[in-house]
Structure 1
Amino acid sequence: MKTETIGDAVLETWDAEDVAAAFARDEIYLVDVRTPQEYMFEHIEGALLMPMAFFCADKLPGQTEKQLVLYCGSGVRSDKMARKAIEAGVKRVAHLAGGFGAWKAAKKPFIGTNMGTGAPQRVG
């Protein structure tokens, strides 16, 4: 895990293993910042959706009980939105290094689209 201090806030960069383990223990809120279309095609099951185009940091879940972790496709948008959250007053936020691509490369389960039927299906 990489940590960066920004003023009095902390930005953490987690790998897919860290995110999967914390999510399985119900220790984090996982927020997808990709487009609704990307989310509908495939996403991490249980992740919340707050697209970058409509990102509203003051409406993010509180962090009194759980850590906030953002992800996108490659890690670029989630890093930007994590920094935006810090600008809005969030004191501790993390994002998934490599984004959803890294999640899939690590062979973590997700919800995908069955190309034959168009229906959602669990993958992995």
Structure 2
Amino acid sequence: MSDKILHELSPAEVKAKMDAHEVVVIDVREPREFGAERIPGALNFPLSTFDATALPTGGRPVILHCGVGKRSAMAAQKCFEGGAGEATHMAGGLGAWKDAGLPLIVTDPATGQPSLQG
């Protein structure tokens, strides 16, 4: 794996790249986790069914993320196994995103209605 490169970006770096429409953010958490809270604009491709060859990149680089960074690193490994030489994930995952006070879509469990926070 020495020829494979895993990049880590901070939540602020990911947000800046998202705002500039430079990247596609892929959330590898399971659908129930994604439904409860998520980064606005992120797409859900759960690690349990992750297929690195089916990511909708639109020609843009992909940034992987999960809750804390473990599953996104595992998804990066799947990208390497699929032939990618480099992969990028967000350091600290959604927890770090929330700690940074960045926008989050949260679903109210009582009503099922999503709202934007942050």
Q: Same fold (TM over 0.5)?
A: yes
Aligned residue for 1:89? Answer: 83
Identity value in percent: 38
CA distance in 2, matches of 1:29, 1:83: 18
Q: TM-score scaled to structure 2, two decimals?
A: 0.92
3-state SS of 1:38 partner = helix
C-alpha deviations, 1:28-77, integer Å up to 9, x for none? 110000000000000011111100100011112347x4211000000000
Matched with 1:15 is 10
Counterparts of 1:102 and 1:94, CA distance in 2: 16
- Which runs of no fewer than 5 residues in structure 2 stay unpaired? none
Matched position secondary structure for 2:16: helix
Runs of 4+ with deviation above 3 angstroms: none
2:67 is aligned with 1:73: yes
* Structure 2 counterpart of 1:25, from 12, 20, 25: 20
* Residue 109 of structure 2 corresponds to residue 111 of structure 1: no
1:6 deviation in Å? 3.8
Q: Is the 8 A contact 1:67 1:92 kept in 2?
A: no
CA 1:94–1:122: 2 relative to 1, 3 Å: same
Matches of 1:61 and 1:85 in 2, distance apart?
13
Gaps of 5+ in 1: none
Q: Is 1:68–1:92's contact at 8 Å kept on the other side of the alignment?
A: no
Pairs aligned (count): 118
TM-score, scaled relative to structure 1: 0.88
Question: CA RMSD of the aligned region, Å?
Answer: 1.6
